[in-house]
Amino acid sequence: MKLLVIGCGQCGGRIADEFARQNRLAHTQRGINIITGALAVNTDVADLSGLSYIKPDYKHRILIGGQKTGGHGVGKVNELGAEIAREDGDKVLESMRTVERFPETDAFLLIAGAAGGTGSGAVSVLAQQIKERYIEKPLYVIIVLPFTYEEVTEERTMYNVGTCLKSTYLVADAVVLVNNQKYAREKSSIRSNFADINTRVVTPFYNLLCPGEETNRKYIGSRVLDAGDIVQTLAGWTVIGHGTVDIPRIKFFNGKLDFRDKATATSRGVQTMNQALSALSLKCSPTDARRALYLMTAPPGEMTVDMIKQISFYLKNTVPEAIIRSGDYPRGKTLDITVILSELINSRKIMDYFSKALRYTYLTKRRRGEIEHEHTGVEGNISDIPSLL
């Protein structure tokens, strides 16, 4: 599956930059491409200048709202970010058309941090404009949720997250949720932390996008997981996880596999699946998923019928209500499993963001004198959260 990746704002741009880096790896190591192009869209010149792998020309690093912001960002006001995207969205659409391999694009992937200004505001507007122009292609969005300290100390953050999530959900085919806090390392520097987080966000997509692009016969799996499987799986709120386990040297007894190693090899798949589920990009209840997908990547000799059977049963017991799709990819020297849980319902984390956004909206109106009487709890419903569209 080939994606056209568009990063919105600082957070989105850096993750798009990581997609560009991993596409270079795919091209060098596997002779394939997993993205047709990577663009970064921002209102801040400095943020665009800090990228490493996205091409530096104005068609790939796109400055919007230059007259309104002077190239210095929108200061966390995501309504302004949305307004600028509406006015300058044609710049992005024009740049997309100039991407060299644009006709090969299977789907669009937009990326943004929910807490900021430019990305939080622009991502849903750009998604809507792209969907209106390219109706036949799926459009997915990765939304990166804020750190815990941002949620606690910055009241405006919760409003940005709520409005961004609501607006994006209305236009995207699927929204992949990523919890920044899950990947943070408290004792590491800010620079290394962000670089590590960006890598861990993108890594689960690496193997997932490769199988359908393989041309070398020896790397074609018995059950190829292609773009069609991914498109049929991704819908609504979505999470992704990745697990990897080293494969030890196998002992043989008189030319035959020792029974202990045989049992260990079979259970290794379940161990890796459990690791992938534990590493989901956002903590959720797997029973809330209505669609699921997994890809097993390993040396050909490591993947057995028993292993696939155990993995499938394990996942089915974990997501009993989900339609499951799967595939195998005979590549690499470790056992890797990528798992996607999609069409999630009753997400507590999402409802918590909506509740806090409603509270912020209520308090803002009360300060303005638009509401006279004080209420407790969540005032109104999700429809009362402003839309950025």
Strands 61-63 and 252-253: unpaired
Second-level CATH architecture of 217-342: 2-Layer Sandwich (3.30)
Quickly count: other Cβ atoms within 10 Å of residue 103's Cβ: 7
- Which of 223-227, 273-277, 323-327, 382-386 bottoms out in mean pLDDT, i.e. has the lowest? 382-386
* The pair of three-digit structure tokens given for residue 59, joined into one six-digit string: 């068609």
Q: What is the pLDDT of residues 300-336, one digit of tens each?
A: 888 888 899 999 999 999 999 999 999 999 999 999 9
The answer to whether 307 touches 176, Cβ cutoff 8 Å, is: no
In the chain, ranges of CATH 3.40.50.1440 domains: 3-209
Give, in degrees to the nearest 5, the angle at Cα 338 between 334 and 341.
Answer: 160
- Token reading at 2: 């080939």
Residue 376: predicted pLDDT: 45
Per-residue pLDDT at 156 = 85
Is 260's pLDDT higher than 60?
Answer: no
- The answer to whether 171 and 206 are in contact (CB under 8 A) is no
Q: Which band of pLDDT confidence, cut at 50, 70 and 90, is reported for residue 183?
A: confident
Mean pLDDT of the region 82-87 = 97
Question: What DSSP state is assigned to residue 319?
Answer: S
How do residues 100-114 score in pLDDT, each as one tens digit? 999 999 999 999 999
Contacts of 357 (CB under 8 A, 6+ apart): 158, 159, 161, 162, 163, 166, 385
* Intra-chain end-to-end CA distance of the chain, in Å: 29
Show the tokens assigned to 87: 């006015």
What type of residue is 142? I
Contacts of residue 174, Cβ cutoff 8 Å, sequence gap at least 6? 138, 140, 141, 234, 235, 236, 237, 238, 342
Measure Cα distances from 262 to 4, 257, 299, 311, 332 in Å: 42, 6, 16, 16, 20
Report phi then psi at 344, rounded to 5. Answer: -75, 140
Alpha-carbon distance of 357 to 360, in angstroms, equals 5
| pLDDT tens digit sequence for 132-181 | 999 999 999 999 999 888 888 777 899 999 999 999 999 999 999 999 88
SS3 325: strand
What residue ranges of the chain are covered by domains with CATH 3.30.1330.20? 217-342
Handedness of CA 193, 121, 70, 48 (dihedral sign): positive
190 has a pLDDT exceeding 70: no
What is the spatial distance between Cα 386 and Cα 389, in angstroms, rounded to a whole number?
9
Question: Which CATH entry fits the domain spanning 3-209: 2.170.120.20, 3.40.470.10, 3.40.50.1440, 3.60.10.10?
Answer: 3.40.50.1440
